[in-house]
Structure 1
């Protein structure tokens, strides 16, 4: 059965929040699978995405132009803020009508926009877990719905520089490894 976007985002948040809580200050400068981001910059980016996609669920405008500095501005509280904002994200997408019609400046179907943030929340949680030596296992229901959605979005995402070129994986690759490879990530990436 198809889950609502609020349910999917809630499940993804349950897996992502412990990863961000598990990032020590000493690891903030470490590299991530996203070559353009270290751990600090990727945590900032993910928090910005979570906040902005709350606005999109509510049919408000979002500002992706500002360079986020959540970690440096609140060194003791950014992890708790991430937990609060992901809960608010799931709540915003669970609101009646959030998945209907179009949203965002591109006028995309609302559920497609929801899958965009679900992809970021899931894949960037893996990026941060891998970069900081933590385990990460996404909710299977999330991957079951995310995989076909990201497959459909991949050509546009690559054209816009959001996804890298796909990485080849073996026939025995897990569904999540296939999602990672689709976005241009090597599922075997390690920080050291």
Structure 2
């Protein structure tokens, strides 16, 4: 069984190139997360990465932040932020006990950020006309964890109603469907 840090390192290695390839003229485009354009989704993803870095250290996150961090060298800062996330989850005890602020088992919280990272990078890839297919082994580890969280996430309006997964769907396609996304969605960008 891989550690959360190892899983996040793999996911970040696939996420960073997608984020770095987003062009400035794409920031106002729509995304599969209809409440967010590309810029807003990037800001949300930065917020998630930063707060789950705090949660790894059993700290109390601030999910209320609304500042626009998609300025200056935001692509480089995203790379740095995901590196900090991976390091935070590699610290001794990060996966043990209960998370700070959320009151959930720390390993569950680690899978939450893994899911956010993978799913929102898919959203960004779809929005900007990029290819993104995460490692199947990574998606296979995420799928049961995310399925267990889905009812609570739907109740909190974090996930939409489950979308029917196509026959023969991959683990990641089933993850997307579980969150209310159409795995067969055509790219929105370009």
TM-score normalised by length of structure 2: 0.96
Runs of 4+ in 1 over 4 A off after TM superposition: none
Asked if 1:100 corresponds to 2:100, the answer is: no
TM-score normalised by length of structure 1: 0.95
Secondary structure (helix, strand or coil) at the match of 2:62 reads: coil
Asked if 1:29 corresponds to 2:25, the answer is: no
User: Residue by residue, what CA displacement relative to the aligned partner does 1:104-141 show, whole Å, maximum 9, x if unpaired?
Assistant: 32310000000110000000000000100000011222
- Aligned equivalents of 2:67, 2:51: Cα separation in 1: 11
- Aligned equivalents of 2:6, 2:136: Cα separation in 1: 13
Secondary structure (helix, strand or coil) at the match of 2:44 reads: helix
1:48–1:68 contact (8 Å) kept in structure 2? no
Q: Where does residue 121 of structure 1 map in the other structure?
A: 117
Asked if 1:50 corresponds to 2:46, the answer is: no
- Aligned equivalents of 2:67, 2:58: Cα separation in 1: 22
Q: Where does residue 37 of structure 2 map in the other structure?
A: 38
Asked if 1:174 corresponds to 2:170, the answer is: yes
Q: Where does residue 80 of structure 2 map in the other structure?
A: 84
User: What is the CA distance between 1:174 and its match in structure 2?
Assistant: 1.4
* Structure 2 segments unaligned to the other structure (5+ residues): none
Secondary structure (helix, strand or coil) at the match of 1:136 reads: coil
User: What is the CA distance between 1:36 and its match in structure 2?
Assistant: 0.3
* Structure 1 segments unaligned to the other structure (5+ residues): none
- Aligned equivalents of 2:13, 2:134: Cα separation in 1: 9
Moved more, 54-63 or 165-174: 165-174
- Aligned equivalents of 1:109, 1:124: Cα separation in 2: 23
